[in-house]
Amino acid sequence: MSDKKIILILKIAMAFGVCLILLGVYFHLFNQTIEEMGVNGIIISAACVAIGMALSLPTKMFLTFVLMKREIEQD
């Protein structure tokens, strides 16, 4: 797989992760239905945030690729 494809996949995973984090925060703060569900609602909103954080972890890999590419271009 080429570097461009890997970077594109990482960007998509990061964006989806941030969206899931925002969805979990929305569920926790603003959604009445989730609040009425009690413990199950808390689990749903927490799962959205946790999965979103796991998907946003490739940020470090992406930044490493970008920094390595800039370093190679400078030489």
HSE at residue 24, side-chain half, CA atoms within 13 A, is: 18
pLDDT at 48 over 90: yes
Q: What is the mean pLDDT of residues 25-43?
A: 91
Residue with tokens 């927490």: 46
Q: At residue 2, what are phi and psi to the nearest 5 degrees?
A: -75, 165
Q: Which residue has the higher pLDDT, 23 or 74?
A: 23
* Bigger pLDDT: 48 vs 3: 48
Q: What's the pLDDT at 8?
A: 86
Q: Are 52 and 20 in contact (CB under 8 A)?
A: yes
Given this model, what pLDDT does residue 62 score?
75
Query: pLDDT for 14-27, tens place per residue?
Result: 899 999 999 999 99
For residue 18, what pLDDT is reported? Answer: 93
